[in-house]
């Protein structure tokens, strides 16, 4: 049955954002500013209380006032009654979240996957996890360049909404799009996911170079050759080249690798300065997805016969298998080759 234009473009009246971290809170603020009734689900009682009483997320986004349309809850069942679901947990927790969501999900509610990573062990993308856990749910992916604090404050940002259902993607755009939050529609789920997952790993490497004071030229080389790795894996998995060179691939890679605001870049910089991973993580509430997904990205590359030396070096550093100096020597000792390779 075909939908009319009015039906397909009509916004979803209510939105649930599952995940009370910085990015989930920022997306909740966007949806609230777009005029939707928003329910932010968070595990932390301090977040729920802070959002509902003080209009602020004191743990993950302090100092950023939240729209009056945003409320918070610790009840997944309550949040699951919304018309549109934005799933924003860390990638390694997506499966457990979806398992908990399934019994309560409103029939027909689409799920927008907003986590950037690859599941360790299974090597599943987030859309694969959704297909396994809630196969009846219509999938979409939100991915692109944007820092939570900037997005939450209403600074201009562009992103990608990917879905095989163009009408659904356009309806999601109608629901959360703003003059300062500009979603572009795509149909390439794999490209949107690979771009977001791989760029986080490359960003850790760029951070290491920053911490080791290797210079801007080294960062430019890592971004460029990292993009080659991202592209090789994406194409091998069926992604479209234009998706990988767009907002959710190259755009996100450049932003993340060029700013210490990135959790992945700042983690790499701390490693590059000689700090121990366990000490860095002990100081943080938020997850650095690049460190978490690095082994899965490298294993995925091996599965598809794709060479990804930068990602492999990041994985080895994070896992403690080699030192940073050894990784640098190994990368700089690789044979010279044509740039297209």
CB atoms within 10 A of CB 36: 23
Residue positions counted in the chain: 341
Which residues contact residue 88 at a Cβ distance below 8 angstroms, ignoring those fewer than 6 apart? 17, 18, 19, 21, 23, 24, 27, 114, 115
Q: Which residues of 142-169 are buried (b: 16+ CB within 10 A; e: fewer)?
A: bbbbbbbbbbbebeebbbbbbbeeeebb
Rounded distance between C-alpha atoms, residue 71 and residue 67, angstroms: 9
Do residues 293 and 287 make contact, with C-beta atoms less than 8 angstroms apart?
A: no
The whole-angstrom separation of Cα 77 and Cα 334 is 53
**Angle at alpha carbon of residue 212, lines to 210 and 218, rounded to 5°:** 55
What is the rounded distance in angstroms from the CA atom of residue 171 to the CA atom of residue 148?
A: 23
For 20, 111, 200, 311, 338, the CA distances from 90, given in Å and listed in that order, are: 11, 15, 13, 20, 37
Q: Is 199 designated active site?
A: yes
Beta carbons within 10 angstroms of residue 210's beta carbon = 24
Q: What does residue 313 show for φ and ψ, rounded to 5 degrees? A: -65, -40
CA angle in degrees (0–180, nearest 5) for 123-97-253: 50
Helix (H) or strand (E) run with residue 182 in it:
strand 181-186
State how far the Cα of 305 lies from the Cα of 191, in Å rounded to an integer: 18
Given the residues 102, 199, 240, 337, the one annotated as active site: 199
The residue with tokens 């979806």 is: 98
Catalytic residue positions, numbered: 199
């Amino acid at each position: 049955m075909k939908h009319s234009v009015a039906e397909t473009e009509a916004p979803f009246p209510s939105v649930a954002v599952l995940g009370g971290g910085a990015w989930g809170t920022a997306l909740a603020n966007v949806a609230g500013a777009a005029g939707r009734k928003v329910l932010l689900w968070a595990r932390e009682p301090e977040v729920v209380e802070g959002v509902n009483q003080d209009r602020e997320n004191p743990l993950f986004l302090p100092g950023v006032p939240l729209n009056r349309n945003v409320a918070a809850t610790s009840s997944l069942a309550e949040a699951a009654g919304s018309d549109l679901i934005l799933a924003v947990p860390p990638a390694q927790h997506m499966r457990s979240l979806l398992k908990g969501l399934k019994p309560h999900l409103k029939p027909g509610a689409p799920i927008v996957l907003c986590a950037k990573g690859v599941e360790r062990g299974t090597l599943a993308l987030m859309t694969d996890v959704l297909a396994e856990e809630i196969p009846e749910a219509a999938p979409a992916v939100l991915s692109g360049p944007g820092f939570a604090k900037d997005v939450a404050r209403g600074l201009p940002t562009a992103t990608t909404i990917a879905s095989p259902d163009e009408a659904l993607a356009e309806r999601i755009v109608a629901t959360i799009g703003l003059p300062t939050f500009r979603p572009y529609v795509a149909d390439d789920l794999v490209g949107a996911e690979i771009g977001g997952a791989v760029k986080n790993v490359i960003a850790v490497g760029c951070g290491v170079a920053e911490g080791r004071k290797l210079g801007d030229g080294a960062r430019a080389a890592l971004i460029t050759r990292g993009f080659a790795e991202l592209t090789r894996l994406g194409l091998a998995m069926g992604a479209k080249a234009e998706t990988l060179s767009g907002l959710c691939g190259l755009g996100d890679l450049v932003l993340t690798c060029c700013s210490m605001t990135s959790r992945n870049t700042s983690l790499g910089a701390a490693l590059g300065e000689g700090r121990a991973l366990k000490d860095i993580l002990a100081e943080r509430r938020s997850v650095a997805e690049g460190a978490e997904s690095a082994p899965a990205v490298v294993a995925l590359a091996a599965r598809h016969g794709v060479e990804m030396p930068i990602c492999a070096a990041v994985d080895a550093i994070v896992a403690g298998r080699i030192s940073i100096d050894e990784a640098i020597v190994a990368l700089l000792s690789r044979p010279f080759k044509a740039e297209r390779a």
